[in-house]
Every structure is written in C-alpha cells, then in structure tokens.
Chain A
Amino acid sequence: MLGEGILKGMLETARNFFGSYVSKERLTTVEYPEKRIPAFANARVFPFLVYDGSDSLGGMRCVACQICEKECPPKCIYIEKSKDKKPDYVGKPQFYPARFDIDISVCMSCQICVEVCPFEAIKMDTEFELATDDRFGGLLYDREQLAKSNEYYHSIHPAEANEVDARLAEEKAKVEARAKAAAQAAAAKTAPGSSETPGGGS
C-alpha cells in the first residue's frame, strides 16, 4: 500500500515524542546554563600551571625548561626563563618562568604540553566558560592567570592528581634517601679506617 512506509515512520516519531515524557533515554537535552552535565574526569579544555602550597608564583612546579613551548603544535606558549634560581619540591635549585603566556585563542587543547612535561607542572583545565569582550588581551593568559593550586587540580581530575602526587612523593623520597646515603658516605669517609673492607686491599 502506498504510504505505508510513511505511516510506519510517523508511528515511530509518535513513539519517540510521547516516549520522551516518560523515558529519560529519549529526552537527552538539558537546559544549560540552569542545568549542567557534569564534566568527565578526563575532560580537557585549556592548560594551567600547577603550584604547591599557597604561594601561586613561588610554589609553581614549572622550571621553565621550555619543552612545552617547543613541542606545542600551534606554538601558543611563550616562556621567558628567570635569571635566578629557586628551590623546587625536592629542594634542588631550579629556574622558574619569569614569563609564561598561553594564547588560548591559538591553543587547540591537544594536551601535548601535558604529555611532554617532565615536571608535572602543566595540566588541563575543565573550565570552558571563558568568553571575553577583549579579543587579544583577554585571551592571552599570563602566569598569574594560569597558576592554579594542586588542590584545584585534585578537584577536577582526582584520580590523575593522586597518581601524580604519588609519583612526586616517590621521587622526593628517592632524592632524600640518596642525599641521606651521600651524607652517610661522606661521614663514613671522614671517619678513619671505617671505609676499608674486611680482608684488606685487593
């Protein structure tokens, strides 16, 4: 019968229309901004710089090694290395970024800076409501705007942040153990006779 296929389709549409009142499966939209869909744990928008402690610039993990600047595909990162050094999380003196700019109008959220960073200093944010009326300055983020605390990092990517913290703690423990061993060896060297192995020289 001509029109049977159309009627079948209409029936399907009606099923979906009335179904949307009873089944959540069929009504998938939410009324943003009153209602929101929670962000996924892996979600990424733009990068930010992680700092430890309460001092946003002093506690910054970034050591201005400029790897992310080099590896960034659209070259949206600009870094100026500091002249002096400050101690990092294990106490080793390191450079810090005197200037760290990300032009988020150029950034394409690819996460390659995060992957190449050896210091766990740059991570991806989930904040996406970043509209501004200043097209140039408003979208060029400097280090003050980029700096976000480790607690914030924990709040947006909890599993990943815990992993990172564990890795850093392990590294720190290793460095401390090595320093301790070195101190002990130094102490042992100064004490006469104790460095000799039993059985005499070979």
Chain B
Amino acid sequence: MSIAETKPERADGWNRPPVTAPDGDGELLEVSMGPHHPSTHGVFRMDVTLDGERVVRLKPGFGYLHRNHEKIAEGAAYLASMPYTDRLDYFCSLTNNWAYALAVEKLAGQEVPERAQYIRVLLAELTRIQNHASSIGFLAQEMGASGTPLMYAFREREKILDLFESLTGSRMMCNYMRFGGCRVDVSSDWLDATSKVVAALPEFADEFEALLTSNEILMARCQGVGVLKPDLAVNAGVSGPMLRASGVNYDIRKVDHYGIYDRFKFRVPLGDHGDIYDRYMVRVLEMRESIAIVAQAVRDIPAGPIMDAKAKIRGFRPKPGEAYGRIEGPKGELGFYLISDGGPNPYRYRVRPPSLINLTVLEDMCLGHNVADAVLILGSVDIVLGEVDR
C-alpha cells in the first residue's frame, strides 16, 4: 500500500505531504541531501523523507547563499544595483540587467532608442540560448551522462560568452544595460561575429538533439517523471519553460510585448505532459526559436543612438511612484518591483525570481518517485541559487 493512495487528493492537484508513517510498511528514513551535494546546483538542501527508495516528503531548505541583495539595493543608488543584478542569476546577467533597467525606465518614464532595443533583444536571446544549452547539459550530467553533453553545451556557450566579453568587457558579470539604453554601442564587426556564431548554432542544436533526444536512457529516466499538472503550475505561479512544458501557453514576450518583441516572428513551444522530457524538449525548441530571433535582430538592427538623450548617469532621482518591470527570462518571469520616494535610492526594491517560485512545486513533482529521480526533477527546474536566495 503506498502513501500516495491513502491521502486525500485535492481537486486542484495540490498533494498534501503525508505527516504520519505508513502502518506496518517499514520505517521512514529521513535523508538530508545537500547543502553540499553536487546535484543541488550550488548550496541547496532537500530534507527528503523516504519510504524505501520512494520520496514521501521533501522539504527544500534554501538561504545559504543569501546576500541581502534587496536591502543593499535600498541603501544604494539606482545604478549601483545594476552590477549586483548580474550576480542574481549569474548565467543570465544580461536578462537580469534588462529586467531591472525596464523597471527603472518605467519608474522614471525614460524612452529607449530603437537601436538599443534591438541590442537588448539580441543579447537577451543569446543569453537564453546559452542558458538553455547549459541547463540541458547539467540535466544530462545528473542523469549520469558524465560530461559529454555538458561539454558540448559549454563549447557553444563559450562562443556566446566570447561575444559578451568582446562587447561588454566581461563574460558573465556583463553590467551592460543602463537606464534609457545600453553602455557601449555594438560595432559592425561584432554583428558580423554574432551572425557567424548564430549561423553555426542550428547545427549545434541538431548535434545536441542527435545526442540526447532519442536516447533510450534519457527517455526512460525522463518520460513520465516529475509531472507537473497545468492547473497546479498556474496556481503556484510557475513560469518560463517549466510552465510551457505543462502545456500552458504563457510567454511574457507574447503577452506583454515589452521591448520590441512584437516585431519578431517566433513561436512558443508547448509541452503536452509536463514531465522532465517535455521540459527538455521545450528548452531545445526555445533555443531554435531564439536563434531565429537573433538572426532577425542582426538583420534589422537600425543605426542611431543607443542612449536616451535625457538619461544621466549621476544624480539620478526618479519622481515618486512605483513600477514593476518584468521580462521573460530564460528561467521564467523575472520581475523587479521598485518604489521611489523621489530620493537617489529606491524606497523599496523587490525581485521576483523565477527560480525560487518554480522551486515551490518541487515537492509535488517529487512525491512518489525515487531519490535518483528527485535529483533529475531538481535539475529540470533549472535553478540558480544566486537567484533563489538573492
């Protein structure tokens, strides 16, 4: 008799964790996975209660990487928080920059010039490609494919990071976007290099898929494991590839039309089952769509200024008010909520991190699966602890 059968199932798909040991079925074993566990992507702890191999309860513990980002930002100038946003989700510093810049631009009523908008889209989509590639690589690593897919992913990521470095000066801590534009202009050489890298990427995606998509081991480990039902995903506020893998058509690029996304032609891949395999597939397909967006952006980018003429770097004091800027980050909805009291510092600064909120359904996905599957399910959520703990 399994525990999943004895407990009442709620209509909204929310499974309550069992609190009592099953009678006569052996004893429960509590295992603490992490915080120094290689599968936890940083310092993350899972208190797993096991009935044999099966997970009957899972309590996530985080906060080990808490750096007081939000409170520090309330005591610092608006611009001074920009480099700190790089360190939230350190895989995707450019999308973090964009989300923060978007919130401040809304607050201050700044306009972003056309060319800067194109640069932002270009960089955000490159970020998405490298994030998805490496997150799939890590997922395969956790499946026991020690190294190969991850190294292939990192080889391609390296090319994109080279582009980032030659433009922004840093591979990961880009600190590139500014309120009302971007810091340095892209040269035509850089655009040529980008289109060369992007032209080679579909081949990489094919190679990656040949390596993984029809692999029987991957299919056996992933299909039907860690299923997230769409209604639970929506109720829990899950976003990004995880939500779309559950079949919910919600992409902020399509919903909000922030930036200039309505000018680009791209599709939103959706999953059917909401299992790990669908999450993998959605990421691969999103990579392909992002490649198409980058190609369009490189083709269409206009000449012009890259900074709002009224923007100033020092003495920036937006008028009192509040703003919420959100973008479709590679991991989901990344939002910054700011309240200004007219001073040089934000009165309130709040980050809505996709990784943290996607993690809240971890237990629901893990219940009834094996411990080894819990590791995979965590990997398929695609978390970065810098963002979860902030």
Contact = CB atoms under 8 A, between A and B. Distances in A.
B217 interface: yes
Of listed B80, B81, B84, residue having the most chain A CB within 10 A: B80
A139 B165 CA distance: 25
Contacts of A110: 82-83, 173, 175
Contacts of A41: 166
B168 interface: yes
Contact of A12 (B83, B200, B211, B314): B211
B90 interface: no
B166 A40 contact: yes
Contact of B80 (A6, A40, A71, A111): A71
Contacts of A4: 214, 216
Given A67-B314, A71-B80, A116-B314, A9 B212 contact: yes
A111 B169 contact: yes
Contact of A73 (B76, B162, B214, B314): B76
Nearest to A40: B166
B314 A5 contact: no
Contacts of A155: none
A162 interface: no
A42 B168 contact: yes
B162 to A, nearest CB: 8
Nearest to A8: B210
Contact of B217 (A6, A43, A67, A116): A6
Interface string A64-91: 0001000111000000000000000000
B215 A9 contact: yes
Interface residues of A, number: 31
Interface in A97-149: 108-112, 115-116, 124
A66 B219 CA distance: 60
Interface in B263-297: none
A112 B77 CA distance: 12
A3 interface: yes
B148 interface: yes
Interface string B202-246: 000001001111111111000000000000000000000000000
Nearest to A110: B83
A17 B95 CA distance: 34
Interface string A1-31: 0111110110111001000000001101000
Nearest to A13: B148
A5 B79 contact: no
Contacts of B218: 5
Contact of B155 (A3, A28, A67, A72): A28
B27 interface: no
Contacts of A111: 169, 175
Contacts of B146: none
Given A13-B148, A40-B169, A108-B173, A2 B210 contact: no
B166 A42 contact: yes
A6 B140 CA distance: 13
B147 to A, nearest CB: 11
A42 B218 CA distance: 41
B210 A6 contact: no
B371 to A, nearest CB: 24
A121 to B, nearest CB: 15
Given A71-B77, A111-B169, A5 B175 contact: no
Contacts of B313: 115-116
Interface of A: 2-6, 8-9, 11-13, 16, 25-26, 28, 40-44, 67, 71-73, 108-112, 115-116, 124
Given A42-B167, A73-B84, 19 more contacts: A5-B215, A6-B216, A8-B211, A8-B215, A9-B210, A12-B207, A12-B210, A13-B148, A13-B211, A16-B207, A25-B200, A44-B170, A71-B77, A109-B170, A111-B175, A112-B79, A115-B183, A116-B313, A116-B314
18 contacts: A3-B216, A5-B213, A6-B216, A8-B215, A9-B211, A9-B212, A12-B210, A16-B207, A40-B165, A41-B166, A42-B166, A71-B77, A71-B80, A73-B76, A110-B82, A110-B175, A112-B82, A115-B183
Leading 10 A-B pairs by shortest Cβ distance: A110-B83, A5-B214, A73-B80, A44-B169, A42-B169, A40-B166, A5-B215, A9-B211, A12-B210, A12-B211
